[in-house]
Amino acid sequence: THSLQCRDPFGAASGGRRAQVTELARAGMAVGIAGLFLEAHPDPGNAKCDGPSALPLSALEGFVGQIKAIDDLVKSFPELDTSN
């Protein structure tokens, strides 16, 4: 979720693009990344830090299920020899 932060050079806190958490994570898993860094909070709007880019805790189980399914699918593909 840190990749979704929007820094304000004059502010004390950063903003974020929480709506893109799922799309960015799916894209990463689709190209075979090894892991994700994710922040979740019961009430992101009232989080002390990183709330604008945090996933609501209530969405975490569904999110992890989708990401795991993509990861399992990608890892099930055989390696392709593209050297020739």
The 10s digit of each residue's pLDDT in 18-45 is 678 888 889 999 999 988 888 899 999 8
Structure tokens that stand for 45 in this block: 């709007």
Domain boundaries, the chain: 2-76
Query: Whose CA is closest to 74, among 83, 66, 82?
Result: 66
pLDDT at 67: 95
- Report the C-alpha gap between 2 and 14 in whole angstroms: 10
pLDDT of 8 over the 80 cut = no
The pTM assigned to this predicted structure is: 0.73
When the pLDDT of each residue in the chain is averaged and rounded to a whole number, the result is: 83
